[in-house]
Each structure stands twice: as C-alpha cells, then as structure tokens.
C-alpha cells in the first residue's frame, strides 16, 4: 500500500515540472512565430513598421481594428503535422483562445487555424494559414460593433454616391 502511495505521489510530482515546462517560454503571437521558426528551421519576415501600421489602422477605423501583428514565411518547405501544429499553437496562445476553424490536410500542405478570444467588447482574432510554400500568421483585435458602424457608414456614403451619378 505504502509503495502504491509512493508511486502515485511521484507520478503527480512528475506532472508538475512537465506542465511548467510545457507552458514556459514566450507565448502569444510572438511565441507561435518563434516556435514555427525553431521547429521548421524557417525565418519569418516581419512587416516593417508594424507598430506604426497598427497605430494608423486603429486611428483610421476609430478603434475598429487594432493590435495588428503579421508574420510571413516564404518558401516554407517543411511538411507539417496538423495535430502537432494545432497543439503548439494552442499551447502558445493559451486556454483563453478558442479554436473556431481548423482545416488540415494529411499531407501537410494546407493548414488553416483560426482562433478567437473575447477581450471585453473587443475580439482577438488569430489566423495561421499555410498554403503551398507560404505560411502567414496574423493577429488583430477588432471591435465588432464599431466596425459594423463604419461599414454601414461607407455603405451609406456609397449609396448616396450612386444615387448622385
């Protein structure tokens, strides 16, 4: 009995460092991109002045779209295991992100993962799309209600414009 308890306690004790290691390292968008770089020996092209672009998009949409992150892998040649990729992204993004769409091909060529995350009245969107030799990773934060108003505004203007022609 004592041996059984000892084995059980050892097993539980072993789970703790494994869980800590698994959640370690950089998380979020950068964590995913870094993990892709390391795992597939590829280099991501980060769009220059992304901070500025993000700031401009926030201003232009009056807060509708913000926190834009983009990373692009060109000439991505490594075959991907869909299950492994999904696990890695889930782990790096954390449990607050929910996967809503996943498309995966057994041969590894095409992979799409879309995650969403509630951020108060805003929504975080994370998209990973691999097709052929290109892999793109995008993360944005959107305000659905605000975006809707802006879209309606443009539609309204466009209708007026059409009527004027």
Partner 1 sequence: MEMQKRLLYLGAIVLCGTAMAAAQDSPLPLPPAVEKELAAKASNVTEVTLGKNMLGFAAKFMNGKDEDEAATRKLIEGLQGIYVREYEFDKEGEYSMEQIEQLRKYFETSEWSPIVRERERKNHETTDVLVKLVNGESQGMFVLEAEPKDLTIVLILGPVKVEDLSRLKGLGGLSSLGDVQKDIKPVKKGGGE
Give me the residues paired with residue 124 across strands: 117, 141
Q: Extract the tokens encoding 153.
A: 């505004």
* Positions in 18-57 near partner 1 (CB under 8 A): none
* Positions in 69-108 near partner 1 (CB under 8 A): 82, 98-107
Q: How far is CA 107 from CA 37, 111, 112, 127, 130, in A?
A: 20, 10, 13, 20, 12
Q: How far is CA 126 from CA 8, 47, 66, 69, 119, in A?
A: 39, 16, 13, 9, 13
DSSP collapsed to 3 states, 37-79: HHHHCCCCEECCCHHHHHHHHHHHCCCCEEEEEEEEECCCCCC
Give 8 or 60: the residue with its C-beta nearer to partner 1. Answer: 8
158 interacts with partner 1 by CB under 8 A: no
Minimum distance between the CB of residue 36 and partner 1, rounded to whole angstroms?
A: 21
Among 31, 40, 72, 147, binds partner 1 (CB under 8 A): 147
Return the range that interacts with partner 1 (CB under 8 A); candidates 25-33, 34-42, 52-60, 113-121.
113-121
Return the range that interacts with partner 1 (CB under 8 A); candidates 6-14, 27-35, 37-45, 66-74.
6-14
Between β-strands 111-119 and 134-142, what pairing exists: parallel, antiparallel or unpaired? unpaired
Give 47 or 151: the residue with its C-beta nearer to partner 1. Answer: 151
Return the range that interacts with partner 1 (CB under 8 A); candidates 25-33, 65-73, 130-138, 140-148.
140-148
Site of interaction with partner 1 (CB under 8 A): 1-2, 4-5, 8-9, 11-12, 15, 82, 98-107, 110, 114, 116, 118, 123, 144-145, 147-149, 151-152
């Amino acid at each position: 009995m004592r041996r059984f308890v000892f084995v059980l306690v050892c097993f539980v004790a072993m789970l703790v460092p494994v869980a800590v290691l698994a959640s370690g390292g950089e998380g979020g968008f950068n964590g995913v991109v870094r993990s892709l770089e390391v795992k597939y020996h590829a280099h991501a092209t980060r769009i220059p002045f992304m901070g500025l672009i993000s700031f401009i998009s926030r201003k232009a949409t009056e807060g509708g779209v913000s926190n834009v992150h983009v990373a692009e892998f060109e000439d991505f040649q490594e075959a991907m295991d869909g299950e492994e990729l999904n696990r890695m992204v889930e782990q790096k993004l954390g449990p607050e992100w929910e996967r809503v769409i996943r498309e995966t091909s057994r041969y590894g060529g095409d992979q799409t993962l879309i995650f969403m995350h509630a951020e108060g009245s805003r929504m975080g969107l994370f998209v990973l799309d691999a097709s052929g030799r290109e892999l793109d990773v995008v993360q944005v934060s959107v305000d659905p209600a605000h975006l809707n108003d802006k879209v309606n505004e443009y539609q309204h203007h466009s209708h007026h414009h059409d009527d004027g022609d």
